[in-house]
Amino acid sequence: MENDRNQLYSAYCDLMLKGADINNASAVLGWDQETYMPPKGAEARGRQLSTLAGLAHEVLTSDKLERLLKELSARTDMTDVQQNNVRLSLDDFEKNKKLPGDFVEELTKQTSECFNAWIEARNKNDFGIFAPSLTKMVGLKRKQAELYGYKAHPYDALADDYEKGITVALLDPIFAGIREQLPPILAKIKAAPQVDDSFFDRHFPKQQQWDFGIEVMKRMGFDFDAGRQDYSEHPFTTSFAPSDVRLTTRVDENNYASMLWSCIHECGHGLYEQGLPGDQYGQPLGQAASLGIHESQSRIWENCIGRGLDFWKFFYPKLQAQFPQQLADITAEAFFKAANKVEPSLVRTEADELTYHFHVMIRYEIEKQLIEGSLEVKDLRNKWNQLYQQYLGVTPPDDKSGVLQDVHWSHGSFGYFPTYTLGSFYAAQFYAQVQKDIPGLLQQVATGDLKEFLQWLREKVHIHGRRYTSEELCERITGQKLDPSFFIRYAVAKYKDVYGI
């Protein structure tokens, strides 16, 4: 009986590994597309990615896999690991089966076309170049929502791909809370003397920025024998296995804030990928819990640790040594305050921790309307600018700093943006817990010792893969479900130190 079980499970694993290998081969091509691929390679690359997506879909929706999953699900002699892998794989199978193979290939091909149109549009600062491809993409995503099926709102079907069980009915109250709770804090900050971050705009040579970023990432624990960092138009992290994780960043020599926290942020994602159980490669227990949890790992490093005063007690002398002329007249405390300056801005990835959530909310409102059909792509630029003025009091002067700033929609990632806010809220709740579990954490951080913090993340989050939903994992770690009040308390405490509010 045990031998029969093991044979069935082995056959299931073989198919899952084959699907994972194809998807990760596709991911290598996607990484190359955004880093090193020559412009003329775009058309062929789109075809290659489409072919691989079709092959992976064929394997992961095959009759053979369905038979194996159903046989294994009915057994009572499975180990805990086997049960969880099969349970989650069956959920994935049933969802994937709803998408015809030709639709998957069409969507993948359109994603490649759309990304290349986005790159051209950014280079020429013209949304009109991107609009036709995006219109096709929105049409395909609406069709995908219908193929998946939904109870209340088509956006629910797409968002579920990134955060299991999340819906408009759950997200709307969260963003309503942001509209209610953040403005009073922002009003107090606005009334306080503004911190000076003008020194960030001094000239910081590219290579020196890069070298310091690498030093910080090594101290965080990123294994460069199992990963690397490169340049791209939009910073991102992708993983082909825990032993091969790729990060990217971008550098502005006249704005130091642009790169450093991007490095820390993406390194947080990379550490999660490197911490997933390698022996579960290709299986659900070898994958991240959700994008919300993934984002919690980048935000806890970037903001809770990387923008904290204790972090800079150790790193600031090293940074000053790297840039002696640029930072000779700047104290560690002044640097810390500048790193946490709050001011409405145009670009999401460079926004402060508070106004950041209005950037996310704007995108959530827009993509929800695009998917439900109450907004069309031709009206997107105007809607974007209107919401920026409404929520942040700023209007983009051009498309590159406005509607073209994010890569996500060119990838077809509708439903992704809310995970950024969810991730920040999970991060604040986890950060409160880790300080209880490691009473001397801040003293460790102040000496550059980040090993115990990383180990805590490994044991509490990384090692579990997809075994738990986001809510289950949060409750397991902190004793309660997601509670946005942790973020509010964290923000009030931090900005009391920065602005004296």
Q: For residue range 363-414, what is the model confidence (pLDDT) as tens digits?
A: 999 999 999 999 999 999 999 999 999 999 999 999 999 999 999 999 999 9
Cα dist from 190 to 180, 241, 353, 355, 395, whole Å: 17, 45, 15, 12, 19
Look at residue 388 in the predicted model and tell me its pLDDT: 96
Which are the contacts of 26, defined by CB distance < 8 A and separation ≥ 6? Answer: 49, 52, 53, 56
Report the 3 state secondary structure along 293-349.
HHHHHHHHHHHHHCCCHHHHHHHHHHHHHHCHHHHCCCCHHHHHHHHCCCCCCCCHH
Q: What are the residue ranges of CATH 1.10.1370.30 in the chain?
A: 168-499
Token pair in block for residue 448? 């550059």
Alpha-carbon distance of 136 to 147, in angstroms, equals 17
| Contact call for residues 323 and 128 (beta carbons, < 8 A) | no
Which are the contacts of 493, defined by CB distance < 8 A and separation ≥ 6? Answer: none
Alpha-carbon distance of 113 to 106, in angstroms, equals 11
Alpha-carbon distance of 294 to 281, in angstroms, equals 17
* Average confidence (pLDDT) over 344-361: 93
Q: Within 10 A of 85 (CB to CB), how many other CB atoms are there?
A: 27
Q: Is the pLDDT of residue 1 over 70?
A: no
Look at residue 6 in the predicted model and tell me its pLDDT: 87
Q: Is the pLDDT of residue 2 over 70?
A: no
Token pair in block for residue 175? 């963003």
Dihedral sign (CA 90, 417, 298, 498): negative
* Average confidence (pLDDT) over 46-68: 94
* Tens digit of each residue's pLDDT (9 = 90 or more) over 239-271: 999 999 999 999 999 999 889 999 999 999 999
Alpha-carbon distance of 408 to 115, in angstroms, equals 9
* Tens digit of each residue's pLDDT (9 = 90 or more) over 35-50: 999 989 988 998 999 9
Q: Is 266 known to be catalytic?
A: yes
* Tens digit of each residue's pLDDT (9 = 90 or more) over 310-323: 999 999 999 999 99
Q: Is the pLDDT of residue 501 over 90?
A: no
pLDDT class for 204, splitting at 50, 70, 90?
very high
Q: Tell me, what DSSP letter sits at residue 439?
A: T
Look at residue 185 in the predicted model and tell me its pLDDT: 92
What's the CA angle centered on 459, arms 453 and 463, to 5 degrees? 130
Look at residue 3 in the predicted model and tell me its pLDDT: 74
Alpha-carbon distance of 242 to 246, in angstroms, equals 10
Look at residue 391 in the predicted model and tell me its pLDDT: 94
Token pair in block for residue 468? 């738990």
* Average confidence (pLDDT) over 42-60: 92
3-class DSSP state of 430: helix
Percent of the chain residues past pLDDT 90, beyond the cut: 95
Cα dist from 37 to 31, 221, 240, 298, whole Å: 9, 29, 18, 27
Residue showing tokens 């503004």: 194
Q: Is the pLDDT of residue 333 over 70?
A: yes
Q: What is the CATH number of domain 168-499?
A: 1.10.1370.30
Task: Please tell me the least confidently modeled range out of 70-74, 229-233, 277-281, 459-463.
Answer: 229-233
Average pLDDT, the chain: 95
Q: Within 10 A of 459 (CB to CB), how many other CB atoms are there?
A: 13
C-alpha dihedral, 7 to 10 to 12 to 14, nearest 10°: -140
How many helices (H) and strands (E) are present in the chain, helices listed first?
Answer: 21, 3
* Tens digit of each residue's pLDDT (9 = 90 or more) over 81-128: 999 999 999 999 999 999 999 999 999 999 999 999 999 999 999 999
* Tens digit of each residue's pLDDT (9 = 90 or more) over 164-198: 999 999 999 999 999 999 999 999 999 999 999 99
Q: Is the pLDDT of residue 426 over 90?
A: yes
* Tens digit of each residue's pLDDT (9 = 90 or more) over 283-297: 999 999 999 999 999
Cα dist from 451 to 218, 432, 445, whole Å: 11, 18, 9
Among candidate residues 34, 113, 163, 266, the one labeled active-site is 266
Q: Is the pLDDT of residue 428 over 70?
A: yes
| Contact call for residues 321 and 295 (beta carbons, < 8 A) | no
| Contact call for residues 70 and 102 (beta carbons, < 8 A) | no
